[in-house]
Chains A and B, each alone.
Chain A
């Protein structure tokens, strides 16, 4: 039971971290109508910038400044890159973001090299907040939860309760009409892109000390981010949250419990072949849940796409 509780918390942290990446991506998607392949690269940029800044000023300044720089870079890329490509349609945009991802990865390797960087949590948070049956829960993870929840509530408030948020939502669905009403829609788009990438950058800063800072960190998260927003429903903030949490828990629990295929198959009435090492179904019989864990999100995506193509919380039929 204690271990169950610990896993619930761990999965919650994983899910919230994923959410910070997905929320920006899903907003940008509903704006451009195109997936931003470079999104995870902005996450990586955030971690590297924060590491560099933290060498001079310590962790906290890095936490504040790095996402701002990443957001600024994102806004400039939208203004002078994506906007020019936009008029040629979706495929060039897609290729543009794909190229951008490769460019960022190579640039990072050029400046920081290929090794792991020693980016660690600030000393003020380097202790165990509490322990459940001998399992320490680091204070830093409590901090991660607080930041992610703060981001979610702020975003939700801005998008649904303020004038700016309403303009953004309107501009996402009916850009021409909003433009005719006198709003500067290109500026709105630039800001949304900037904020989206800044949030990816912030996720990078926060995740860096836990998941490591190395050139492969974008690639490692890249695909799962897309899976999450597809499951949640493209463009839906709530959907991104729900899907992130589901995936966080799915992966944590799948790894935590050593359920084997043998147990399941025996339970439903099959008998294990005696010469298992020679059996054609050997791989099936020796499969364990932790091995299956990494595939589960993709499996979930396929099921969601079949049963509810617009995603769990998506409301568009496009």
Chain B
């Protein structure tokens, strides 16, 4: 009996030791994005991509501080309101979280980057870092750039650069119609389209350049008639959500069978809503690619994503880079508490991504330079969107897109 007790005690002690080893340091990342309301799909999908990349690329391989630490995602619902985001930022900081991730809406990102900069000015010994995974307003890495903000998505100008490469290479396109929502992003897209087309193909005529009220147009048919009537060979739009579906369906319904270049014309129900009609017509410009999976690791990674989240889409490949790049920066510093050193390690970092190829966090403006692709909707996609049987396949691939693009950023470093 005594022998048995001794064995039990030994086993218990061994268990305790193992338990202590398992209780690693948790590095928490506050995920501030809409998780309720009309844009909840965007936030939920983003959170899933984060959780998946944290699990597969960092925690399970033990890639953070030699496996002695783990990332943990802490979601905060900002209801896509800038005001609410600032409250959630404060809550996150009060909980001791020093890494903030956000991306849906450039309006929110503008508010957060200012708030983070202000906090860090007042508390130079306890700074916060802001990882922006999808807000693409160019200003964030130009006039409004600041040291603590890092953008992992390609900004609107970089995307337009790749998109217009695709258009410039197509001699059939002689007339382009630009249409967008009437607010800062729609205007930025229109301006960029005009600038790049003028540069690359001065012979292309912009036959229409118009902005429509955002979220207020019930029926896009009159716009579609104008587009068809203008004789356009391609449409460029930055529309998202209901405005993207409405415009796309109306334009295709009016008999337009030429390419429609979009920033957000896929996933979140949009691919399913377009269905067969959008095959070969709807194009999407974005960072990285899903189809075909660029690497073997990506293939397995995306497959595992769809096993874990069968109802969601792997819609924003670049978001999978944030956790591993942050982990690399933390490893370089050697601890997860010196945020300033981590920020310095992150800028200028070169990273071989499984989804966006050779990826570079540009030092001058904290804009990520990576592979940007123009993708087309087709039923022959290995990974589909919206469980619709169709997805986006890369057609034009631009590596290190806009690596030499100019920036007006004058970074002030602490």
Chain A residues with a Cβ under 8 A of chain B: 3, 6-7, 10, 13-14, 113-118, 120, 128, 131, 133-136, 138, 210-212, 214-216, 220-221, 224, 251-253, 255-256, 258, 288, 290-291, 294
B254's partner among A114, A135, A215, A294 (CB-CB below 8 A) is: A135
Interface hit among B112-120, B219-227, B392-400: B219-227
Contact B229 A3 (CB under 8 A): yes
Minimum-distance CB pairs A-B, first 3 = A115-B269, A136-B255, A116-B269
Apart from A115-B269, A117-B272, what 19 extra A-B contacts exist at CB < 8 Å? Answer: A6-B225, A115-B386, A116-B242, A116-B270, A135-B225, A210-B249, A210-B253, A214-B242, A216-B215, A216-B242, A224-B218, A252-B222, A253-B222, A256-B222, A258-B226, A290-B212, A290-B223, A291-B211, A294-B213
Tell me whether A255 and B245 are in contact in the complex, defined as CB-CB below 8 angstroms, given that A115-B41, A136-B255, A212-B273 are known contacts. no
Taking CB atoms, residues of chain B closer than 8 Å to A256 are 222, 225-226
Chain B interface size, under 10 / 10 to 19 / 20 to 34 / 35 or more: 35 or more
B182 within 8 A of A: yes
Interface residues of B in 211-253 (CB under 8 A from A): 211-213, 215-219, 221-223, 225-226, 228-229, 242, 245-246, 249, 253
In the assembled complex, the Cα of A300 lies from the Cα of B366 at a distance in Å of: 51
Contact A10 B388 (CB under 8 A): no
Taking CB atoms, residues of chain A closer than 8 Å to B56 are none
Taking CB atoms, residues of chain A closer than 8 Å to B268 are 115-116
B275 within 8 A of A: yes
Query: What residue in chain A is nearest B36 (Cβ atoms)?
Result: A114
Contact B41 A220 (CB under 8 A): no
Contact B386 A118 (CB under 8 A): yes
Instruction: Tell me the minimal C-beta distance from A290 to chain B in angstroms.
Output: 6
Instruction: Tell me the minimal C-beta distance from A259 to chain B in angstroms.
Output: 13
B72 within 8 A of A: no
Instruction: Tell me the minimal C-beta distance from B134 to chain A in angstroms.
Output: 18
Query: What residue in chain A is nearest B40 (Cβ atoms)?
Result: A114
In the assembled complex, the Cα of A216 lies from the Cα of B245 at a distance in Å of: 13
A117's partner among B40, B221, B269 (CB-CB below 8 A) is: B269
Taking CB atoms, residues of chain A closer than 8 Å to B25 are none
Instruction: Tell me the minimal C-beta distance from A120 to chain B in angstroms.
Output: 6
Contact A3 B182 (CB under 8 A): no
Contact A10 B225 (CB under 8 A): yes
Tell me whether A118 and B275 are in contact in the complex, defined as CB-CB below 8 angstroms, given that A14-B221, A256-B225 are known contacts. yes
B210 within 8 A of A: yes
B414 within 8 A of A: no
B272's partner among A114, A118, A136 (CB-CB below 8 A) is: A118
In the assembled complex, the Cα of A307 lies from the Cα of B255 at a distance in Å of: 42
Instruction: Tell me the minimal C-beta distance from A142 to chain B in angstroms.
Output: 13
**28 A-B pairs whose Cβ atoms sit less than 8 Å apart in the complex:** A7-B222, A10-B221, A13-B221, A14-B221, A114-B37, A114-B38, A114-B41, A115-B41, A115-B386, A116-B268, A116-B272, A116-B273, A118-B275, A118-B386, A120-B273, A133-B229, A134-B229, A134-B255, A135-B228, A135-B229, A136-B253, A138-B253, A216-B215, A220-B218, A255-B222, A255-B223, A255-B226, A290-B223
